[in-house]
Amino acid sequence: MQYLLMIHGDESAMASARQADREGMMAAYGAYTHALKEAGVYVGGERLHPAASAAVVRIKDGRTSVVNGPYAESHEQLGGYYVIEAADLDAALVWASRCPGAAYGAIEVRPIWPVM
């Protein structure tokens, strides 16, 4: 089964982190991605620009509206994601616990619903 790991975290903490801590975090993510690939679990994943760069589009009563900012304003924002192939939810949770973001924010694990 495939799972989406959504990495939620505090963007301002990351932005104000010391250079060395930021580099350590990047190295940890690099190692984590590498470990996912070596274990044959990695399907995909990307880092996202900060939530301020987001735009939300809606069509209501036939009119399009575009709003600046993320869909949900909250302290912790979606900062990136992985898609992994895991035998079951338990295996996916183990991989989520290894994601560096789990120690600083929260990893939401969602099973992917195959439609085709």
Partner 1 sequence: MSQDAQRAAERVARESYGRLVAFLASGTRDVPAAEDALADAFAAALRVWAKDGPPANPEGWLVVAARRRLIDAARRRRVETEGDPALRLIVEELEALGEAPAPDRRLQLMFACAHPAIEESLRAPLMLQTILGLDAGAVASAFLVKPATMGQRLARAKARIRQAGVPFRLPSPELWPERIGPVLDAIYAAFAQGWLGASELRARDLAEEAIWLGRVLVEGAPSEPEAAGLLALMLYAHARRAARRDPAGRYVPLSEQDVGFWDHAAIDEAERRLGEAAALGRPGRFQIEAAIQSAHAARRHSGTTDWPAIAALYEGLLALTGSPVVAVNRAVALAQVHGPEAGLAALRALDGHAVLTDFQAYWAARADLEARAGVAGAGESYRRALGLETDPAARAFLNERLNALTREP
Cβ-in-10-Å burial (0-12, 13-18, 19+) of 92 comes to buried
Phi, psi of 20 (to 5 degrees): -65, -40
The C-alpha atoms of residue 63 and residue 23 are separated, in whole angstroms, by 45
Nearest-approach distance from CB 9 to partner 1, in angstroms: 13
Comparing CB distances to partner 1, the nearer of 13 and 39 is 39
| Helix (H) or strand (E) segment spanning residue 97 | helix 89-98
Q: Residues 1, 35, 67, 72: which binds partner 1 (CB under 8 A)?
A: 35
Interface residue with partner 1 among 13, 16, 30, 49 (CB under 8 A) is 30
Residues within the interface to partner 1 (CB under 8 A): 24, 27-28, 30-36, 38-40, 89-90, 93-94, 97-98, 100, 102-104
